[in-house]
Amino acid sequence: MAPQLSAPSARTAEQLVSPLMTGLLELYLDLHRHPELSGAEQRTAARLADRLSALGCTVASGIGGHGVVGVLRNGEGPTVVLRTELDALPLVEQTSLAYTAPADLGAMHACGHDVHIACAVGAAALLAQDTDTWRGTLVVLGQPAEEDLSGAQALLDDGLERYTGRPDVILAQHVTPLPAGYVAHAPGPVTAAGATLELRVHGRGGHSGLPQLAANPVPAAAGIIVALHALQAREPVVVTIGTVHSGTRPNIIPDVVTLGLSLRAATAAAVERAIAEVGRIARACCAAAGLSQPPELIRGAESPAGVNDPEAARLVRAAHERAFGAARIAALPPSTATDDFPRLAALGGGAPVPTVYWMLGSAGAQRWRDAPGASAAEKAAALPANHSPAFAPDPAPTLRTGVAALHAAARAFLALP
């Protein structure tokens, strides 16, 4: 996998994007105003498909749900996949932006997948207008349902390979509250292994005035919630209880409490140990509360840890250093974020396809300057993060660098004419 082409030189990488900016901002704002939840990305997928068709890509839609693939064949050479997610989150946006998503949609692009879509379209546009300078196949992949960690597997199960063959490399970037204009790289692990769980604590419902005739599952669930925090002290694992549902009225003892859990750790084995521990803690709390029925632990979506292919990651980093200068490349510390992107390494079968994933700064200059804190880490922590209803990438500088970063990375693998 030797680099065949050099990336555009430092001054030109983002200048190349300038003529596309009006169209890309229009796409970004349209997507931002029309967020769609995981599995319901119909409109978003159609917008992406339209843009890719207009660039001359052969487009297929409805793969693994609302998955979209746009293929630009340009002679013999490597196949490079640029992956973007399509889905938004069930949040009501709380920013003061002029293009806020309407509250009645009950969704928001709080993870920045709208940025990723516009960046992938921009990179494809640059390559489509420049086909005499490279050879190979460019694939833009719009993946549905990333937020529930199901979409990548659904694409594979629905025969994504029919459209892509076995690619030579799969690339993805993700926005983060670092300064716009920067990218962050890691040579190895980039995202954590994760699992979602539903834990049902069963009691016996009844009248609140007659608790001796019922078995209230709520105190047991409260005990489980407190005890699960001790788990984090024993093993480097992040346990988040994101949902707690039970009951209808204060004077009715409910039958069941349902907890929604998210677990993250460095490896799938550590996640597995944590799941077993959650089960033990839940059973012990239920027994201590005198509930006769053991709790149910239902496994949901899981994703493996994301580990960059070292050689491919080195090529992308080198391309970004040429494009942006070494001063604009930040080091990416180990993360507890999860993404089902690593599953795509199984595309085409056989040995895993090399994957590279990097982070893209999204905080505008003013916002970054105003963020409290002396160090970059303090400032990044002070800004609203992904999945916050106040998450607000600065579109123009983020798209400019994001398009240039994907373009430079793709060119690092495509062949010379």
Q: Which is nearer to Zn ion, 145 or 169 (CB)?
A: 145
Tokens, residue 153: 């597997």
Stretch that binds Zn ion, among 108-116, 288-296, 298-306, 377-385 (CB under 5 A): 108-116
Stretch that binds Zn ion, among 23-31, 35-43, 103-111, 322-330 (CB under 5 A): 103-111
Binder among 17, 55, 88, 111 for Zn ion (CB under 5 A): 111
Stretch that binds Zn ion, among 12-20, 62-70, 110-118, 290-298 (CB under 5 A): 110-118
- Residue ranges in 98-150 assigned as alpha helix (H): 113-128
Near Zn ion in 252-291, by CB under 5 A: none
Cα distance between residue 74 and residue 79, in whole Å:
10
Question: Contact at 8 Å (CB) between 110 and 89?
Answer: yes
Cβ-proximal residue to Zn ion, closest one: 111
Cα distance between residue 154 and residue 68, in whole Å:
12
Q: DSSP of 160-209, one letter per residue?
A: THHHH-S-SEEEEEEEEEEETT-EEE-SSEEE-EEEEEEEEEE-B-EETT
Stretch that binds Zn ion, among 104-112, 125-133, 312-320, 397-405 (CB under 5 A): 104-112
Q: Which is nearer to Zn ion, 63 or 111 (CB)?
A: 111
CB of 144 to Zn ion, least distance (A): 13
Cα–Cα nearest to 204, from 281, 134, 262, 256:
256
CB of 87 to Zn ion, least distance (A): 8
Question: Contact at 8 Å (CB) between 111 and 86?
Answer: no
x/- track of binding to Zn ion for residues 122-141 (CB under 5 A): --------------------
Q: In what order do the strands lie in the sheet with 136-143?
A: 58-63, 67-74, 136-143, 79-85, 169-179, 355-363, 183-185, 329-331
Q: Which is nearer to Zn ion, 254 or 393 (CB)?
A: 393
Cα distance between residue 72 and residue 125, in whole Å:
10
Stretch that binds Zn ion, among 95-103, 111-119, 195-203, 366-374 (CB under 5 A): 111-119
Residue reference for tokens 């990651």: 313
Cα distance between residue 229 and residue 241, in whole Å:
10
How many residues of this chain interact with Zn ion, rule: CB under 5 A?
1
CB of 345 to Zn ion, least distance (A): 18
Q: Which is nearer to Zn ion, 111 or 178 (CB)?
A: 111
CB of 147 to Zn ion, least distance (A): 5
Residue ranges in contact with Zn ion by CB under 5 A: 111
